[in-house]
Amino acid sequence: MPIAPRFLGVTTLSPFFQVEGVEPVLDRLQVVGVNAVAVNTSVTAPGAEGEGSYQPPDDGGTSPRLFDRPLWGQRGLWLRSAPGHAFRAELFADSPYQPRPANDLTASAGPIIGEFIRAAKARGMRVYIQTSAAAPAGLRDEDRPRLPDGTLPPYRMADTASLASPAVRAWNRAWCRDIFAQYPEIDGIRPDWPEYPCYTLNEVFSDLGPHVEGWANSHGFDFAAIRQETLAFWRYLHGSLGNDDIADFAETDGGRFAQASLLTRFPGVADFFRLKAALSADLLADWRAAITAAAGPEKELSANAFMPPYSFFTGLDFARVGDTCGSVSAKLYTMHWCQMVEYWGRELLDANPGLDEGLLVRALVALMDIAEPGGGGRTLADYHYPEPDEAHPIPSETQARKLRQVVRAVGGRAQAHALVHGYGPLDDFRRRFALAAESPVDGIWVNRYGYLSDEKLAAMGKVIRDA
């Protein structure tokens, strides 16, 4: 018999039910208690080397990931993709961005998206479309975030747009109308990255381009002062940082005094993060209005978000999500937390050759709050991207603390969900899923079905029964 837990969703991308079949996939999910699924709007087929994209994605060039569930007999492969449906051109008349045109793969495989949605709804599951919050295909440089000096960042892991771009907002509204016109049965939309990603320092200190300048000045922010002081802080981090500057961050208090001192020294930086939070909230309000206009207020907006304290840098304010969202899913993506130590640390070492690597690593680990006092790695190599069979080196209590922080910050104004990544060995996944199940969150999402072996699915079911 299916288990009946609190909210439990799994992101289930189309290639897996294309290969395994709609009903078998839903059978596997439902028997362990899954009562919600999120699906994408494209379909795929195996491609020649260099055709389409390699899956699993390389995650900024450092990911060794492999799928637990093979696609067309392989755990990693090139896939060509196509839209799952032919878009309605009239809905995009006001958008500078246009969807990809339908092709032969759309005609042959596209209908399976609707089939999956209808089959899940017939089982009583909630169904969501997962999409990007601000990343239309063919993103133009004019809509990309810019650094404080006005230049495009030399490297970002996530190619998302400026949240203030009118063109991107127009695309979102058109895309929302098209989604509900094609899949009216869905319960809502789950936009990913309705904030500024922070995998690299380039991403942390974006966006201070012309779109944000216009938005900021019309919303009561002193953009010129923010840009001037953020540029000064950026230059301080890239050439003037010494060991004495980071020593306090490596202390057991996590550098609270040092952080307060820096924000006093560069008050415009605090305003910059406040500006990002206002922009993120405004983007979500735009998504909420688009959903209501397209399909009514009963359809849900459910945002994905970085965990604290990353959310301070990204602009996602958990206290505000209830104004627009029915739920928010905080990412327990522990492999990315390792990656961010490596990315931030490498950039700071390259810009400040005199820094002690061990001290810098301890400072970053404390700033990101990803170890218990006195614990954690000592070199950048200790925070490499974990191999598929390698446990993620983030203590359980650290993850549990972040979940408690999210629940308190949301304050009951929306549902607070844990978003657990399925990547990693069985025992480590079980540990991460169990701590989420035992936390005070309202529900759990797991990303993604492709990383959930039969053994991991069974572990989920046991954890839910025990909890």
Q: How many whole angstroms separate alpha carbon 202 and alpha carbon 197? A: 10
**244-258, 317-331, 377-391: which range is least confident on average?**
244-258
Average confidence (pLDDT) over 299-311 = 98
Average confidence (pLDDT) over 270-289 = 98
Asked if pLDDT for residue 178 goes beyond 70, the answer is: yes
Residues 94-109: tens digit of each pLDDT? 999 999 999 999 999 9
Burial class of residue 49 in the structure, from the number of CB atoms within 10 Å of its CB (0-12 exposed, 13-18 middle, 19+ buried): exposed
Can you read off the two tokens belonging to residue 455? 């053994």
pLDDT of residue 18: 98
Contact 243, 359 (CB under 8 A): yes
321 is a domain residue? yes
pLDDT of residue 373: 83
pLDDT of residue 48: 94
Asked if pLDDT for residue 86 goes beyond 80, the answer is: yes
Contact 339, 362 (CB under 8 A): no
- If pLDDT is split at 50, 70 and 90, which confidence band does 467 have? confident
- The single-letter DSSP state of residue 74 is B
What percentage of the chain has pLDDT greater than the value 90? Answer: 91
pLDDT of residue 3: 43
Can you read off the two tokens belonging to residue 310? 């990353």
Residues 418-449: tens digit of each pLDDT? 999 999 999 999 999 999 999 999 999 999 99
Domain that holds residue 456: 7-466
277 is a domain residue? yes
355 is a domain residue? yes
Question: Which residues fall within 8 angstroms of residue 80, CB to CB, at 6 or more apart?
Answer: 44, 45, 46, 47, 51, 52, 105
Residues 122-144: tens digit of each pLDDT? 999 999 999 999 999 999 999 99
121 is a domain residue? yes
Domain harbouring 360, CATH code = 3.20.20.80
67 is a domain residue? yes
Number of domains in the chain: 1
2 is a domain residue? no
Asked if pLDDT for residue 62 goes beyond 80, the answer is: no
Question: Shortest CA distance to 98 belongs to which of 89, 85, 110?
Answer: 89
pLDDT of residue 199: 96
Helix H or strand E encompassing 11: strand 7-11
1 is a domain residue? no
66 is a domain residue? yes
pTM of the model: 0.96
Average confidence (pLDDT) over 144-168 = 96
Residues 239-259: tens digit of each pLDDT? 999 999 999 988 877 788 888
Mean pLDDT, the chain, whole residue set: 95
The pairing of strands 77-83 and 42-46 is antiparallel
Q: How many whole angstroms separate alpha carbon 115 and alpha carbon 185? A: 11
- If pLDDT is split at 50, 70 and 90, which confidence band does 5 have? low
